[in-house]
Amino acid sequence: MLVTARLRPPDRTVEVADVRRVADLLGRLDVLPGAVLVIRDGTLLTSQDELRDGDQVEVRFAISGGA
């Protein structure tokens, strides 16, 4: 199975094979679950949600810098 993940910001897209749940995907991407939101079809996924072959998800970083 293959999942396409668009990460932003900054914008880049990666393909990740053999990840069953969102938590597995974030682990493979080496991303802290508390720093991102995972979006599929306009709604949010939790770390326990299952991924399907061909899924296109966005991993959006929720941290922003400031003064």
Partner 1 sequence: MRCKRCRGAVVIEVRRHNAAFCRDCFFHYVGQQVTRAIAKHRMLEPADRVLVAVSGGKDSLALWDLLLELGYQADGLYLSLGIGAYSERSKRVCEEFAAARGATLVARDLAGEHGYTIPEAAGKGGRSSCGVCGLSKRYVFNRAALDGGYDVVATGHNLDDEAAVLFANTLRWDTAAMARQFPVLEATRPGLVKKVKPLYRLAERETAAYCILKGIDYVVEECPLVGGNTQMRHKETLNRMEEESPGTKHSFLFGYLERAAELLRVADVAELAECSRCGMTTQAPDDPAEAPVCAFCRSKARLVKSLPVVEVTAG
Residues of this chain that bind partner 1 (CB under 8 A): 8-11, 32-37, 39, 42-48, 60, 62-67
The residue among 8, 6, 4, 56 whose CA lies nearest residue 35 is 8
φ, ψ dihedrals at 28, nearest 5°? -65, -35
Work out how close the CB of 5 gets to partner 1 at its nearest, in angstroms, rounded to a whole number.
15
Work out how close the CB of 12 gets to partner 1 at its nearest, in angstroms, rounded to a whole number.
13
Work out how close the CB of 16 gets to partner 1 at its nearest, in angstroms, rounded to a whole number.
20
Q: Which of 17/63 has CB closer to partner 1?
A: 63
CA distance 65 to 18: 33
